[in-house]
Amino acid sequence: MTIKSVLIVYILFAATLGAFFWGGYHSLKPTLFLVGLFLSSVVCIWGSMAFKPMSLTVLMSVTILTAVIDEYAHTSAGVFTYFDGLTPSPLTVFGWSLFILGILTIATMLEKMVPTGMDVGGPLNAIPALISIVLLVGSMSLQGYLGVMGLLLAVVYLSMGVASVYYARLHPLGWNVSVMVSSIAIGAVMEFMGAMEGMWSFRFMEPIPPFMAFTWSLRTWTILLVSQTFHAREYRT
């Protein structure tokens, strides 16, 4: 057990909780969000034990920086708005760190259930990333979100798409499938719960636009690629 890595999670949890009260979100009494926050923190504490402190620091720093850029691009384009009206909201910027670490922890568990024969190697490893991109663009088009996408948001999505395919191509198919399933499932639940409790709202007022769930797999692959560029230890065991 690495005490310093666990301490990093506690600091991020405290920052997220502080942003929660600072933004006035407590007035909404979002029970589901708070339950999810505490559960994800427990999962993150467990997951952090697989990291050396420096590697975890790099991963979390890249995650927060990515969150600032991504959230600003979405909120400035009006894709969604936060209860506190900020672009972006500190709550989600810090919340991303716990969320990504939770996704990776669950993905690691799922990978152990994937048959070894799935790891075909080569370009076929990128299939999960390509599927995520197709589903994301298709659902955005059907719901009218492509029409509200500004230049900055388009650049963000294009960058994440390229980074995701590149990362996935270099890693086993089983791991990529695990990341895709974990990030989409957890992302969908989180986006839906937050919208239902009034913490954020989407442009066309739906409970959750499907493309937001698919976005999370691209976000995760992108963060992993950038983190490894800065020599953070590969998360996958």
Block mean pLDDT (10 aa), the chain, length 237: 85 94 94 89 88 89 96 94 93 94 93 71 88 95 88 96 95 93 94 93 90 96 92 52
Give the model's pLDDT for residue 117: 60
Give the model's pLDDT for residue 232: 55
Domain count, the chain: 1
Residue 234 belongs to a domain: no
Residue 11 belongs to a domain: yes
Distance CA 173, CA 117 (A): 9
Domain holding 64, by residue range, is 3-229
Residue 208 belongs to a domain: yes
Of 222, 193, 212, 173, the C-alpha closest to 31 is 193
Residue 236 belongs to a domain: no
Give the model's pLDDT for residue 236: 47
Tell me if 77 sits within 8 A of 148, measured CB to CB. yes
DSSP assignment, residue 144? Answer: T
Distance CA 212, CA 80 (A): 10
Residue 235 belongs to a domain: no
Residue 237 belongs to a domain: no
Give the model's pLDDT for residue 111: 87
Q: Where are the beta strands (DSSP E) in the chain?
A: 80-82, 200-202
Cβ contacts of residue 227 below 8 Å, gap of 6+? 58, 59, 62
The string of DSSP codes covering 43-110 is: HHHHHHTTS-HHHHHHHHHHHHHHHHHHHHHHHHHTSEEETT--SS-HHHHHHHHHHHHHHHHHHHHH
For the beta carbon of residue 142, count every other beta carbon within 10 angstroms: 12
